[in-house]
Structure formats: C-alpha cells, structure tokens
C-alpha cells in the first residue's frame, strides 16, 4: 500500500453506513498532489460514495478526511461551500445547465464567484473552451445541440474555470463510443499536464482498465468498501490480488 508525504487528500479510517449497510469500511488512503490517481472498482463498490465524502457532500459515520491540509469535519457549512471552489468536477453526463449555452455554462462559476467584468469573463471562457478543443461555432449552442463528446469538453472547461486544485472525474468515459473515449482520456491527460505547474491533482473514478493504466499515475482498487490494492499504474497489471487480476483480465 502506498503512502505519501503531504498528500492532496488523506483519508483515515473512513467508515460510512447507510442504515445497517456498511458502504465504506475503515478505509485509509492517500492521494498524492499533482498526479492522476484512478479508483477502480465493481459497480456498487462505493466509488461514488467515496467521491462525495471527498467533496464534503456527505458526512462520514466515522473517520477523518483531510483535503489540502484541512480537516473537512472541522469546516462549517459556509466554509465548506467556499472550500468546494478548490474542486472542479466533471460529471458522467457533463451535467451542463440546459438553459445556458456552452459559453455561459463555462461563465457560470466566474460570474458567481469572481468580480470580473463581462468582457473579461467572456474572453476567459473563449480561451478555456479553445483549450479543451471546442470549435468556436459551437460556443453558442445549448447543451441539447451538442454531442456527448462536446458536452464533456464544455463540462471540463466549466470545471477548470476557477483553476481548481483538485479535479474529480466521475466515470468520464462510461457510455461514450471508443473514439470519443480515447479523446476524453487524452483530454484528461493533457489537462493534467497543462496544469502541472500549479500541481493540480486529478482523481478519476472508472471501470475502464485499459485507459486507466494508460493515463493514470496511480491506481487504487476499491472492493466492498475497502482499498484492496494501490499501486503505480505501471505495476498495477502485475498485482497479485485475485480480484484485481479478474478485473484486469475481463
């Protein structure tokens, strides 16, 4: 099991039960700064639940979560909401606001949380959209007029607009065709590299072993509420864990 000095996210003895169903079971786990870490696991293993804990959207039954040196349990509601601005999140289906066009989706966090003028907001948004590879003719399309891959690009630009310290990706390629999957994977890698100077941390939740091994630095395997394997991506396929072998060779 890997440990890191000064990790971006440190999870210690996290347990979460819903009723009498234990979803996360005494889980401990460090996520290093400035790297791409992927959490793999079967459906229902508790991946989304873990992600929601990292965001402080749900409270642990017991245990401690430290993100960027701050203990989430010690933050008040208002502080926690403010703190969430250091996160960016790309949702599985992008979760764009369907009443706003592409550029206004990206502008949303800027208008909400900064005092930039309208011109500054729009020019930033154009840069962001170009950097994730959206063609200018699509800037004023509403989400229902965009393809799945284009929505992912807009969602990524929106998540990056406030320069987050931690980028979270929830199943970024589930439900996409192979070519778009490849494009999104490359986008995650290049985004991470682009923001390498600021040590932006990326956390991915995924089912896709092949892509994970290609783009990640570290890979963790979550099973029944526990991290059962955690290795650098290059060593993951050689894991001796049976479940991991089963998953990798699927």
Ligand X SMILES: Nc1ncnc2c1ncn2[C@@H]1O[C@H](COP(=O)(O)OP(=O)(O)OP(=O)(O)O)[C@@H](O)[C@H]1O
- At its nearest, how many Å lie between Mg ion and the CB of residue 92? 8
- At its nearest, how many Å lie between ligand X and the CB of residue 211? 15
Q: Measuring CA to CA, which residue among 202, 181, 184 is closest to residue 192?
A: 202
Sheet containing 9-18, strands listed edge to edge, beginning at the edge strand earlier in sequence? 21-31, 9-18, 62-67, 70-71
- Integer distance in angstroms from the first to the last C-alpha of the chain? 23
Residue with tokens 């800037």: 139
DSSP secondary structure letter of residue 47 = H
Reduce the DSSP state of residue 74 to 3 states and report it.
helix
Which one of other proteins, ligand X, Mg ion, none interacts with residue 46, CB within 5 to 8 A by kind? ligand X
Could you write out the DSSP letters of every residue in 123-139? HHHHHHHHHTT--GGGT
Cβ 47 vs Cβ 98: under 8 Å: no
What character string, x for contact with Mg ion (CB under 5 A) and - otherwise, covers 18-57?
------------------------------x---------
Which one of Mg ion, other proteins, ligand X, none interacts with residue 4, CB within 5 to 8 A by kind? none
Please, which residue, 113 or 140, has the CB nearer to other proteins? 113
- At its nearest, how many Å lie between ligand X and the CB of residue 119? 41
- At its nearest, how many Å lie between other proteins and the CB of residue 136? 24
Phi, psi of 212 (to 5 degrees): -55, -50
Cα-atom radius of gyration of the chain, to the nearest Å? 18
Which one of ligand X, Mg ion, other proteins, none interacts with residue 82, CB within 5 to 8 A by kind? other proteins
> Contact positions toward ligand X, by CB under 6 A?
18, 21, 23, 41, 43-49
Please, which residue, 106 or 205, has the CB nearer to Mg ion? 205
- At its nearest, how many Å lie between Mg ion and the CB of residue 23? 11
> Contact positions toward other proteins, by CB under 8 A?
55, 57, 80-85, 87, 89, 91-93, 95-98, 108-109, 112-113
- At its nearest, how many Å lie between other proteins and the CB of residue 96? 8
In DSSP terms, which residues pair with 12 in a beta bridge?
Answer: 64
Site for Mg ion contains 92 (CB under 5 A): no
State how far the Cα of 81 lies from the Cα of 133, in Å rounded to an integer: 30
Residues of the shown chain interacting with Mg ion in the complex, contacts defined by CB under 5 A: 48
């Amino acid at each position: 099991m890997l440990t890191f000095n000064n990790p971006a996210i440190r999870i210690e003895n996290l347990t979460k039960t819903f009723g009498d169903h234990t979803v996360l079971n005494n889980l401990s786990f460090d996520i290093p700064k400035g790297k791409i870490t992927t959490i793999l696991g079967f459906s229902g293993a508790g991946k989304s639940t873990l992600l929601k804990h990292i965001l402080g959207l749900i409270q642990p039954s017991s245990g401690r979560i430290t993100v960027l040196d701050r203990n989430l349990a010690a933050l008040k509601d208002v502080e926690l909401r403010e703190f969430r601005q250091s996160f960016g999140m790309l949702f599985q289906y992008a979760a764009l606001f369907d009443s706003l066009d592409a550029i206004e989706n990206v502008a949303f966090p800027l208008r909400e949380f900064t005092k930039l003028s309208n011109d500054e907001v729009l020019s930033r948004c154009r840069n962001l959209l170009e950097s994730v590879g959206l063609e200018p003719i699509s800037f004023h399309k509403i989400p229902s007029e965009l393809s799945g891959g284009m929505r992912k690009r807009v969602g990524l630009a929106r998540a990056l607009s406030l320069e987050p310290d931690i980028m979270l990706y929830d199943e970024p390629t589930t439900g996409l065709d192979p070519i778009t999957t490849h494009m999104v994977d490359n986008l995650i890698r290049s985004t991470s590299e682009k923001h390498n100077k600021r040590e932006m941390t990326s956390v991915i939740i995924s089912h896709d072993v092949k892509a994970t091994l290609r783009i990640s630095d570290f890979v963790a395997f979550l099973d029944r509420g526990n991290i059962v394997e955690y290795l650098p991506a290059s060593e993951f396929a050689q894991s001796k864990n049976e479940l991991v072998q089963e998953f990798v060779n699927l």
